[in-house]
Homo-oligomer: A and B are copies of this chain.
């Protein structure tokens, strides 16, 4: 029986180290009532870190892991060390039903490979996908998947991503029938690869599912809030997401240069600082932290490697919500309905 209220935390992963992970866990503990944790990693360092967070000690159990996956470890090397690393042991706690979800800020490729090998894909899913939330101009964030788990995808993969992404949007964003679109290089029916066009045909026919298929979406409308779920292969998804991140930073850098270009503009900047802070808050990845591997028999959340305490707490709260609202069951049900109709 899965312990819904307990989250397994890889306390060692991430660029920021144990202290930030523990501070994030402590913040999540304060924010969300009744949560409990496995803190997986070097016991001595975790025990030392816990001294700064007395409120966390009672809600946590330390699980010692002698080894750590580094940012440079290749996925193929990492999986051989599943049993001794903090990342591998955190995932194993989910597999054993001791935790409702595992969370790590470590090496994404290694996390994906380990999670896939340990938890296996759900019945009806050919390949898991990495899904994340992007800020948008709409009322809610936008779900995007796959973001790099699968370099090449066929139509069947894309349809499964759409079903999983919609279930995820219903759970994470509290939407009833999320608007789902396929990422493409044009909106006309004939655009794109055969896989994308075939996936569109299948999704147009799937009117019995709790999603609203809206057709194709182009890269320039990713952040407009026109749709709730954007589906793509892992290669273009990774390119698109990183292009969005990079451009937001690029514009922010240009803006900084522009504001520093004269005394007058420096003064203007100081006066309007609350406005630019609002912008910064909206774009700060720590407020949208927590990518999820969908399609596995267990929940694994990837926190951004550079996440700060707030970001880690966001990702943990997010994982808890997905567990509480039983994302896995929703995906299984929707897939069942889709397959039943298609059969």
Contact = CB atoms under 8 A, between A and B. Distances in A.
A59 interface: no
Contacts of A273: 268
Nearest to A274: B265
A245 B261 contact: no
B272 A268 contact: yes
B235 A193 contact: yes
Interface string A238-262: 1111111111111111110011011
A255 B250 CA distance: 14
Nearest to A254: B279
Interface residues of A, number: 60
Interface in A128-142: 137
Interface string A252-294: 1111001101101111111111111011001100000000000
B250 A243 contact: no
A238 B191 CA distance: 12
A36 interface: no
A192 interface: yes
Pick from A248, A251, A258 the residue with the most CB of B within 10 Å: A251
Nearest to A280: B258
A91 to B, nearest CB: 22
A218 B241 CA distance: 10
Contacts of A271: 264-265, 267-268, 271
A265 B243 CA distance: 29
A255 B268 CA distance: 14
A77 interface: no
Contacts of A152: 193
A188 B262 CA distance: 41
B258 A242 contact: no
A117 interface: no
B239 A192 contact: no
Contacts of A232: 239
A265 B282 CA distance: 17
Contact of A251 (B151, B234, B241, B251): B251
A219 interface: yes
B247 A243 contact: yes
B219 A239 contact: yes
Interface of A: 74, 137, 148, 151-152, 183, 185, 190, 192-193, 218-224, 232, 234-236, 238-255, 258-259, 261-262, 264-276, 278-279, 282-283
17 contacts: A137-B250, A185-B234, A193-B235, A219-B242, A219-B244, A236-B239, A243-B243, A243-B247, A251-B279, A254-B283, A258-B278, A259-B275, A265-B271, A266-B272, A268-B273, A269-B272, A272-B272
